[in-house]
Structure 1
Amino acid sequence: MKPQDISRRDFLRQASWSGAGLTLAAYLPANGQTHPLIINPVAEEFVSGTELMSWISISPAGKVTLMCNRSEMGQGTFQALPQMLAEELEVVLDDVEIVFAPANPEKYGPQPQEGSFSVRGWAPRLLRAGACAREMLVEAAATEWNISKNECYAENGMVISRKTQKKLTYGALVEKAAKLKPPAEVILKKRSDYKIIGKSPPRKDIPLKTNGSSLFGLDKKLPGMRYAVIERSRRFRETVKGFDDSETRKVPGVLHVFKVKRPVFSQYCEGVAVVADSLWAAMQGRKVLKVDWNDPDFVLPNTASLENQMRENLQMIGNHPKFETEYEQCTQKLEASYETPYQSHSCMEPLNCIADVRADGIEIWGPIQEANWIQADLSQRFNIPAERVAVHMTFLGGGFGRKAFPDYPYEAAFISKEIQAPVQVVWTREDDMTVGPFRPGAFYTLKGGLDAGGNIHAFQANTATQWIGQEWSASPPSAPEAAGYNTGDFEGLLHPYRQGIPHYSFGGAGIHSPIPVMWWRSVYASTHGFACESFIDEMAHLARKDPMAFRRAHLPDPRYQALIDRMVELTSWQSRGKNQGWGVAFTECFTGLCGHAVKVTRNTEGKVRIEKVIALIDCGWYVNPDIIRAQVEGSIVMALGAATMHATTFEDGKAIQQNFDTYPMPRIADIPPIEVHIMENDEKPGGVGEPGLPTFAPALANAIFDLTGRRIRRLPFSLDEIS
């Protein structure tokens, strides 16, 4: 159904809000204007070519419902989005109920939870929707009292007469307000006038998650639902030759055993499903299932061969002649190589999905990070109109990009169609950690040259990695590309370096492997940041300059100067003590800037220990400081594990690490004290959930160098092995 074909009656019926008195939707005009407009589907005709996003409904009881089109995987959308709406609507936060929006791009717009987009992407729509609803309610009250709108104001879910102090609740006004058109222009509050934004009220989802009433994917149940687990080859792209299920079928509760497939980019991966009337029976049945696999028709990858390929590809990247000329003129030169590993997502909630495939459509329930993508994928693969594919989001126990991938919902739908019943497919931890997709490893060569004044005159960063997304095409990647000259981007590197460094060059070379790779928290910045900010620290040492001052000299933008000034203040940088190691790093991704300062010392045994981490984030205009601190703290913990504890390695075409015994996670005792500080400025909203991660590893490595004189150029490393 196209947006311009939706009637007012259809819109209200599809909104599924019984008793709704006032419903508003945001849309972006078809002319490409970025300024969002608000529409009342009862009082107005839809504008041709609009993309509707219904956001709020106010009931005759005065309760406000916000349809959340973003997943909630711990990052705080269930708190930040209602705060924005409640602020401009002038209601108390407890009066705002938030519910997941089902997949429907024409009503709710894009629904991916990626790129730290929730606040920075949707703040303009929610603020304007709340302000428009408020003004419509004020107009309805003014009409009721036969006075001017200017003689009224809204507060705590009521409209109040300034002169008489008469009050009307929103519930009493919604019927009349629903007949009005939203104002074309509204004046949004100044930050100094905020009552809810900028505060840290108790999160509405925390009680649900602590008392067990929250609905995660594994909690969802349907009448007559079956359970399935799948025997998967640990070797990438092996196909099923045959299987012996004689012992499996003896397990009480086992109902079906058959071959299945799931899409992984341009390939299909095969397995054997065991379906039972309980999850326990399905898992016991899988234990005694015997499967014969066809060997893949390619050389099986292992970590050593992957690393050799990346090193070789780095040598194949050409250099731009003009850059080389400038580099050769430098007074001092430096070259270094950095290496980062493959990583598993290892979400605390393993993958799971419920599917119910019927003749008239498909319904999906589960921890879905991007409902629209799943809906579109299932619609195409099963040849069913998208409006007949319903995707219902639950809470996610972590996502990090993995739960946006369409493979596991398809797998559940495939099995449901086969058995003609609803089914929940559950991945074990071993499934999750061995079949991927993974974050790709990346190798780097960097070189830089200083001028006579000790400033960077030429800077080059080349990467060899398995590019995310190249597996969508079955054909191998092209030859390594030539490095650019003063062009291109390098995710994670602070943008003003491109103004502060006269000559720079970035290049990349993709390697081809059957190992599936995809997004991982902060994507390329998670590895680029380590290489670049560690190397910039090396150049500061070569120039015999203070690392903080050296960075400041190459970042002409006032916003970035202010970030460094604040970090100097927080760390008492100029008076840091002896026998301590202090490292600093600054990175940027998804429009969020972050700086980390790490302090390391030696313990009584002479081993290096992390004493403190100071994090400073500049995300511009923000909503909830506690959510920001939680996100940055979580990023640091995740980065600590990736830098010092775990990696995914391969042998004979298989991932070696299968569970947390060989892929250890940081424990509470491993976490140093963390301080998180937030920059205050008038910049546009920026990302939070991802920008806090890339900065930690280089800051830690730089601190270790400051204490020990040893450079860390390969991740992961063990703190216990450094003295």
Structure 2
Amino acid sequence: MSTSTISRRNFLRATGITGAALCLGFSFSADGKANVIVATDADQSAIEMNAWIKIDASGKVTLVDHRAEMGQGSYQSVPQIIAEELEVDLKDVNVIFAQGDPKKYGGQITGGSSTVRDSYKRLLKLSATAREVLIAAAAAKWKVSATDCYAQSGTVIHKPSGKKFHYGELVADASKLDAPKNIVLKKRSDYKLIGKPLHRKDTPMKTNGEAIFGLDKKLPGMLYAVVERNPRFRGKVKSFDAAATKKIPGVKHVFVVKMEVFNTIREGVAVVATSTWAAMQGRKALKVIWDDTGFEHVNIADIYTRQHEELKKEGLFFKKQGDPDGILTKAEKMLDVVYQTPYQAHSAMEPLNCIAHYQKDKIEIWGPIQAPDWVQGDISQKFKMPIDKVRVNMTFLGGGFGRKAFLDYPYEATMISKQIDGPVQVIWTREDDTTQGPYRAGISYRAQGAIANGQIMAVKFRMAGQNIDHWSDPKRGVANSSTTEGFLAPYFESIKNISFADVPFEMPIPNMWWRSVYASTNGFAYESFIDELAHEAGKDPLDFRRAYLKDERCQKLIDKLEEVSGWKSRKKNEGYGVAITECFSSTVGQIVKVSQKAGGGIIIDKVWAVMDCGWYVNPDIIHAQIEGSIIMALGAATTHEITFKDGLVEQRNFYDYKMPRITDIPPIEVHIIDNDADAGGVGEPGLPAFSPALTAAIFDLTGKRIRKLPFDMANI
């Protein structure tokens, strides 16, 4: 293990701990197994620990959240897991963010809806171990059997006598004990905190101004920078005139800066000043001549025209079973349709920003960062700095959706800090964020299928769109690893002849993860086509899915959808649509009800969502995440898209990349399936099912099949 990222001095300063303390964390063996270790402080052992839990002599408990908090709830869910088995009151717990260090905390990327599902079993074991060590210490003090003692609300109680020790009185003795090997975890029925809709600890902080977001962080002597970047992704700086910029009061530096974006270089001119305002005013006065030669200036219409042409090719098979081609060739009637989904910006409420302080012997970074461990490794490699000399500090994030897991903006901030030899905060405006990307890729899909005797005989899917794999690892000739993302596994058991292929499609547009990643586009195409096949077969769309999704969990989810929506009792002049998708180990079904709006257009009357995410922590967080996912999906389906003209992004801010307004949001009813399955994701799986359910509902009402997003509901 490497040196602890939470140094003793900084941890004590942050938490107010003094004197003896009990620290519990993990050490990771060569085979990747996590072993619980106990110590008196986080720096004492040759095998350094990560100090997930620290209890001081006053009984104060500090828990470390190893993942970013960007609204998805890790600041609540991680402590809620730990406090359950530790037997402490959540209101009495202090929470801090871990610094980036994968050797101590494992993967720290807040993405793929992985925070709970990747770590909950380890965290339960860790906190139960802490409880048992404290109980053992108390039993030794009383000279009684540990079986006669129990923990409750931060105290250990001796049942026969009623004697008590609060945890702080036990930390010195507990820290000398070895961690017990065989820990028995609570049954789900015995949980007091987990599974309960507890109020989030970060809500008061975010309403009273106490929470520190990236833009709130300040360092002594810090300067502020904005960058005028080439508006075409691969363009360069030919020359610039900073005479007028340098006349702006507060402007200190103006220079060319280059930022790595995947395997290309993005160039711009940095303006560094004593305030954000001065930097922005200096940028307005800046005159730059760009060199935009040597690469294609793309247009949005050309992109989709090319994709549609590419879909005539077979592509690279990702998954194939049976003989779909043979059956489709002989089919008397075949559906052969194309779906199209748009490019999308992330548009997090808090635009990108990052503080960096480059020094000869160390680098420190602060900001809204989804992947502190990735940033640590990237900065260490690119600046030839030992990894233990790179510290990445997380603040609260005002939304991320994948964009703030990318490595470009911390790298750019570090480059600027190195150039000016001091700390700097680099701030992106909304226009920077919208016009520079990276984006969710626009993708076109070709779907072919044959129905006979009311049954699916064969299905063939092809997708043509930019491949994130090619940016991160420029291998060619390999299908997109997310080609089937969003498509439920039980379909492969019941549809005997089926294939998925990726038709390679390259564009000079940076693309990357966007909430639910490829499931957000795949789900629209694949579930829309299932709906079309259901109608071709003359079957009820929900019953049709029931026949092909024979997995017990899917059957229960379908039963719940039918029950809560009143699917079987729907009336004339009401449009109902259903879709069921899976991503990040969770399945979500949605039913959308629509009606004709007075004066024309479509109105969404209600959305029902049912999630099966297995083991879960806080139902209120799940409700909030599904509601947010549906609203984000609504915007992507009906309100906004990124388009290109002559190599330039046409949208700049919310006046032309419009968001759904509160008056556009329908009632949303969320239900959670209870079972004992392993935890799945929550933050992303609620998005993909919405757009196919919406367009299916519109077809049910109007007979009009929508295969291209976004569309205007006012003109249907």
TM value normalised by structure 1: 0.94
**Cα deviation, residue 431, structure 1:** 0.5
Deviates more, 1:515-524 or 1:307-316: 307-316
SS of 1:256's partner is strand
Contact 2:43–2:49 (8 Å) recurs in 1: no
Question: Residues of 1 paired with 2:712 and 2:295: CA distance?
Answer: 34
Letter in structure 2 aligned against 1:669: T
Report the counterpart of residue 446 of structure 1 in structure 2: 447
Question: Residues of 2 paired with 1:74 and 1:522: CA distance?
Answer: 15
Q: Is 1:433 the equivalent of 2:434?
A: yes
Question: Residues of 1 paired with 2:48 and 2:711: CA distance?
Answer: 49
Question: Residues of 1 paired with 2:42 and 2:619: CA distance?
Answer: 38
Question: Residues of 2 paired with 1:162 and 1:235: CA distance?
Answer: 71
Report the counterpart of residue 663 of structure 1 in structure 2: 657
Q: Is 1:81 the equivalent of 2:78?
A: yes
Q: Is 1:686 the equivalent of 2:680?
A: yes
Report the counterpart of residue 542 of structure 1 in structure 2: 536
Report the counterpart of residue 470 of structure 1 in structure 2: 470
Contact 1:352–1:366 (8 Å) recurs in 2: yes
Q: Is 1:566 the equivalent of 2:560?
A: yes
Contact 2:323–2:497 (8 Å) recurs in 1: no
Q: Is 1:458 the equivalent of 2:452?
A: no
Q: Deviations over 1:76-99 (max 9, x none)?
A: 011111111111011111122110
**Residues 497-646 of structure 1: matches in 2 within 5 Å?**
497-646=491-640
Match of 1:153 among 135, 150, 155: 150
SS of 2:257's partner is strand
SS of 1:515's partner is coil
Q: Deviations over 1:342-380 (max 9, x none)?
A: 100111100001111112211111001100111111111
SS of 1:623's partner is coil
Letter in structure 1 aligned against 2:75: F
Q: Is 1:247 the equivalent of 2:244?
A: yes
Contact 1:43–1:181 (8 Å) recurs in 2: no
Question: Residues of 2 paired with 1:181 and 1:526: CA distance?
Answer: 48
Question: Residues of 2 paired with 1:317 and 1:396: CA distance?
Answer: 42
Letter in structure 2 aligned against 1:243: F
Q: Is 1:114 the equivalent of 2:115?
A: no
**Cα deviation, residue 38, structure 1:** 1.2
**Cα deviation, residue 316, structure 1:** 1.6
Question: Residues of 1 paired with 2:332 and 2:537: CA distance?
Answer: 10
Match of 2:218 among 221, 224, 230: 221
Q: Deviations over 1:400-427 (max 9, x none)?
A: 1100111111111111111111111100
RMSD: 2.2
Question: Residues of 1 paired with 2:224 and 2:281: CA distance?
Answer: 12
Contact 1:247–1:289 (8 Å) recurs in 2: yes
Letter in structure 2 aligned against 1:433: T
**Cα deviation, residue 29, structure 1:** 3.6
Report the counterpart of residue 295 of structure 1 in structure 2: 292
Q: Deviations over 1:378-408 (max 9, x none)?
A: 1111111111111110000110110011111
Match of 2:35 among 20, 34, 37: 37
Report the counterpart of residue 345 of structure 1 in structure 2: 346
**Residues 175-214 of structure 1: matches in 2 within 5 Å?**
175-214=172-211
**Cα deviation, residue 488, structure 1:** 9.2
Contact 2:259–2:265 (8 Å) recurs in 1: yes
Match of 1:712 among 694, 706, 713: 706
Contact 1:488–1:506 (8 Å) recurs in 2: no
Q: Is 1:285 the equivalent of 2:279?
A: no
Note closer, same or farther for the CA distance 1:103–1:444 as it changes in structure 2 (3 Å cut). same
Q: Is 1:140 the equivalent of 2:153?
A: no
Q: Deviations over 1:556-586 (max 9, x none)?
A: 2111111101111111111111110000100
Letter in structure 2 aligned against 1:457: M
Report the counterpart of residue 167 of structure 1 in structure 2: 164
Question: Residues of 1 paired with 2:302 and 2:162: CA distance?
Answer: 77
Note closer, same or farther for the CA distance 1:473–1:302 as it changes in structure 2 (3 Å cut). farther
Contact 2:28–2:35 (8 Å) recurs in 1: yes
Percentage of identical aligned residues: 54
Q: Deviations over 1:10-29 (max 9, x none)?
A: 98678656435111112444
In the TM superposition, structure 1's runs of 4+ consecutive aligned residues that sit over 2 Å from their partners are 9-20, 26-33, 41-48, 50-54, 318-323, 326-333, 471-475
Question: Residues of 2 paired with 1:93 and 1:717: CA distance?
Answer: 46
TM value normalised by structure 2: 0.95
SS of 2:312's partner is helix
Contact 2:8–2:42 (8 Å) recurs in 1: no
Letter in structure 1 aligned against 2:588: C
Matched residues, number: 708
Unaligned runs of 5+ in 1: none
SS of 2:138's partner is helix
SS of 1:469's partner is helix
Contact 1:59–1:174 (8 Å) recurs in 2: yes
Report the counterpart of residue 401 of structure 1 in structure 2: 402
**Cα deviation, residue 159, structure 1:** 0.8
